[in-house]
Amino acid sequence: MKKSDLLEPIAGNGLLHRRLFLKSSVAAMGAAGLQFITAKVATAAPLEVPAWMQTPGTGMSGYGARSRHEEHIQRSFGSLPGTVGVGSSRTPLEHLEGIITPGALHFERHHNGIPDIAPLEHQLLIHGLVDRPLMFDLESLTRYPMVSRIHFLECSGNSGANNAPKPPQLPASSIHGLVSCSEWTGVPLAVLLDEAGVQSEGSWILAEGSDAAAMSRSIPMAKVRDDAIVAIYQNGEHLRPANGYPMRLFLPGWEGNMSVKWLRRIQVTSGPTMTKDETSKYSDLMPDGRSKLFTFPMEVKSLITSPSGTNAMQGAGLYQLSGIAWSGLGRIRRVEVSADDGRTWAEAALTDPVLPRAFTRFRLPWRWDGGPAVLQSRAIDETGAVQPTRTVLLGERGVNYRYHYNAIQSWAVSETGEVSNVYS
């Protein structure tokens, strides 16, 4: 491909080739006389000395805080801040970049508030169909070999707002923010189960939390053996109370509800326990009125986070479309982007690293001509699964299905630059 071709749209409505964002191509853009994004031409005058260079800066602190100019970036709430009991808060996806969600902005979902657990008093009991019932405290756990894995965590209720007949006019976080991505460190649950000695009939476990909801879920032994961990650390520091301090179950790629926080009990069983949390909620109601028994993995999904709902574009010109893709079934293989409501598609650049069951950041250059556009992203994972359109998804599921919504998100850009949520 000739460098100048990079400046030619490769799909409808101004989508440019992903290679335009490579270093050499940025130089090519300059050579072609295209000013890069919004940089101003520098003058020969010396730089001014700003106020903060004229006095010594402040000192160190024991635990860091972000810039006071960023304090308005907050989780959004489904229920009022500080509400006790049931509720959720959402990650401000449209304000974040890369793939890691800072601990302080990880989404929260509680069924009866956040328990205040004294770590030295917390115990994890492993019992049921085992040879030796065992109790682990935090100290004994940290003597086992640990693993660290970068994975997303998504509530199966995420994006449910888009089931509504009319598209809600909300920021990306309010619609899709029940998903975050962290590095989780802990002990593989299989190691602890081997210590206890699982008996031959032990084909499921029950995991129970130490919160006032005593939230509990059943998990098949195959998943436990595959990649379940008892997580102690999140992004390098101890779990935050809201995310399960001092220990939680973590099940990569499976619906968030099953990653039981404040984990206190694992009972090895011969089948699913059918707890209140897996029968009254998180089950999918089908068009014929019956419920699916369980839906464990979170399927392939993506959305453009910049620009996104309620944003205002700053005039026609070159933009960097940026978004996240993820799949509970493995790696993201490819993300395609459309600017003309799905008529034509261009392949986006995936920013390294591309990890299984983790956020994958994608980008594509877009020259907005100032006219109306509908932006969409469509992710494909390594199993070949393709993110469906909303029409296809709802067509298959009927109107009663609420959980596990993974349809393509469409953002309309108006001539005045307002970005809104549309169903296409």
Ligand X SMILES: Nc1nc2c(c(=O)[nH]1)N[C@H]1C(S)=C(S)[C@@H](COP(=O)(O)O)O[C@H]1N2
Return residues touching Mo ion (CB under 5 A). Answer: 109, 155, 256-257
Cβ(366)–Cβ(37) below 8 Å:
no
| The entry of ligand X, Mo ion, none that residue 259 binds, CB within 5 to 8 Å by partner kind | ligand X
Look-up of token digits 């949390």? 277
Told to check if 211 binds ligand X by CB under 6 A, we report yes
For ligand X, the binding residue among 13, 25, 174, 243 (CB under 6 A) is: 243
For ligand X, the binding residue among 6, 10, 205, 213 (CB under 6 A) is: 213
Told to check if 136 binds ligand X by CB under 6 A, we report no
Number of residues interacting with ligand X: please give it, by CB under 6 A: 21
Residue count (the chain): 424
- Smaller CB distance to ligand X: residue 207 or 346? 207
H/E stretch holding 131 reads: none
CB of 207 to Mo ion, least distance (A): 14
Told to check if 250 binds ligand X by CB under 6 A, we report no
Q: Could you tell me which stretch among 53-61, 107-115, 197-205, 372-380 binds ligand X (CB under 6 A)? A: 107-115
What is the C-alpha to C-alpha distance for residues 253 and 161, in angstroms, rounded to an integer?
Answer: 21
CB of 219 to ligand X, least distance (A): 12
φ and ψ at 84, to 5 degrees? Answer: -85, 140
413-418 long-range contacts (CB < 8 A, ≥24 apart) are 413/307, 413/313, 413/368, 413/372, 413/373, 413/374, 413/375, 414/372, 415/370, 415/371, 415/372, 417/312, 417/313, 417/314, 417/315, 418/311, 418/312, 418/313
Told to check if 260 binds ligand X by CB under 6 A, we report yes
Pairing verdict, β 263-269 and 124-128: parallel
Told to check if 153 binds ligand X by CB under 6 A, we report yes
For ligand X, the binding residue among 96, 105, 155, 251 (CB under 6 A) is: 155
- Smaller CB distance to ligand X: residue 111 or 363? 111
Told to check if 101 binds ligand X by CB under 6 A, we report no
Q: Could you tell me which stretch among 18-26, 103-111, 307-315, 365-373 binds ligand X (CB under 6 A)? A: 103-111
What is the C-alpha to C-alpha distance for residues 378 and 384, in angstroms, rounded to an integer?
Answer: 12
The strand order across the sheet containing 76-77 reads 76-77, 87-90, 108-110
What is the C-alpha to C-alpha distance for residues 23 and 10, in angstroms, rounded to an integer?
Answer: 19
| The entry of ligand X, Mo ion, none that residue 152 binds, CB within 5 to 8 Å by partner kind | none
Non-local (6+) Cβ contacts of 276 within 8 A are none
What is the C-alpha to C-alpha distance for residues 179 and 358, in angstroms, rounded to an integer?
Answer: 11
- Smaller CB distance to ligand X: residue 212 or 386? 212
| The entry of Mo ion, ligand X, none that residue 377 binds, CB within 5 to 8 Å by partner kind | none
Task: Give the bridge partners for 302, in sequence order.
Answer: 325
CB of 26 to ligand X, least distance (A): 38
Told to check if 307 binds ligand X by CB under 6 A, we report no
Q: Which of residues 60-99 bind ligand X (CB under 6 A)?
A: none
- Smaller CB distance to ligand X: residue 96 or 321? 96
Told to check if 110 binds ligand X by CB under 6 A, we report yes
What is the C-alpha to C-alpha distance for residues 62 and 293, in angstroms, rounded to an integer?
Answer: 49
For ligand X, the binding residue among 17, 18, 75, 111 (CB under 6 A) is: 111
- Smaller CB distance to ligand X: residue 18 or 264? 264
Q: How many CB atoms lie within 10 A of CB 240?
A: 15
Cβ(406)–Cβ(396) below 8 Å:
no
- Smaller CB distance to ligand X: residue 124 or 412? 124
Told to check if 264 binds ligand X by CB under 6 A, we report no
CB of 322 to Mo ion, least distance (A): 26
- Smaller CB distance to Mo ion: residue 345 or 401? 401
Half-sphere exposure of residue 64: CA atoms within 13 angstroms, side-chain side? 6
H/E stretch holding 221 reads: helix 221-227
Question: Which residues lie near ligand X (CB under 6 A)?
Answer: 106-111, 153, 155, 209, 211, 213, 215, 242-244, 256-257, 259-262
